[in-house]
A and B are shown apart, each in its own frame.
Chain A
Amino acid sequence: QKEVEQNSGPLSVPEGAIASLNCTYSDRGSQSFFWYRQYSGKSPELIMFIYSNGDKEDGRFTAQLNKASQYVSLLIRDSQPSDSATYLCALGAGGYNKLIFGAGTRLAVHP
């Protein structure tokens, strides 16, 4: 079982809709969770991180964490074509600043 699982997609949503990206993980001891966006040929850029159960909002983005069910999700409201990218879920591996990444979900927002 992979440590971080994501549906590879593509997830296709119309412009203005809500995009919902999901991620499950296997290590119950994980404490920190991250969402990165990666455009083709570029390095990842941090969207947001979440440490506590519940929701965390930042602009159009909301991260949701449920440690009991071992999943973390990212909602993107009012999706724009510029949001089209691969979204990587990652979790912190211990206290050494290491990140373990999922394979990513490709999001396509069409006009």
Chain B
Amino acid sequence: GAVVSQHPSWVICKSGTSVKIECRSLDFQATTMFWYRQFPKQSLMLMATSNEGSKATYEQGVEKDKFLINHASLTLSTLTVTSAHPEDSSFYICSAPKLDSGANVLTFGAGSRLTVL
């Protein structure tokens, strides 16, 4: 149990376009999901916390108008990278708290690799 599905697994887009990444909890409800970004050979950096039915909480330095997060249901959170630029090329990973596993135990999606040309 506790599977998080992320789509697409990879995407290539032109500079200036927007890209949407979906994160779904398949067999459980997730009132909270976390979005991370990972640049090559670097660690995962938390971008924002997605909250079902309310606004996302963004980490310091993350532009909320550029990285739009919507958590419209208990099983779906989306991250939209607006007006993407080459420096936004990265590996984006969502995660959700794993059920009945104690605090902070997260299940990760497979990740989405974004390449902006």
Contacts and interface: CB of A to CB of B under 8 A. Distances in A.
A, B from the same assembly? yes
Interface of A: 31-32, 34, 41-46, 49, 51, 88, 92-93, 95-104
13 contacts: A41-B91, A42-B111, A44-B44, A46-B105, A46-B106, A49-B102, A49-B104, A49-B105, A88-B43, A92-B104, A96-B49, A97-B97, A103-B43
Q: Per DSSP, are chain A's interface residues mostly helix, strand or loop, or mixed?
A: loop
A95 B102 CA distance: 11
Interface in B56-113: 91, 93, 95, 97, 102-106, 108-111, 113
A97 B111 contact: no
Which 6 pairs of residues, A with B, have the shortest CB-CB distance?
A: A92-B104, A43-B111, A103-B43, A43-B108, A97-B97, A101-B43
A98 B34 contact: yes
Contacts of A44: 44, 93, 108
B19 interface: no
Interface of B: 32, 34, 36, 42-46, 49, 91, 93, 95, 97, 102-106, 108-111, 113
B6 to A, nearest CB: 8
Contacts of B91: 41
Contacts of A95: 103
A44 B107 CA distance: 9
B104 A43 contact: no
A95 B97 CA distance: 12
B43 to A, nearest CB: 4
B103 A99 contact: no
A92 B93 contact: no
A101 B97 contact: no
A75 B109 CA distance: 26
Contacts of A92: 103-104
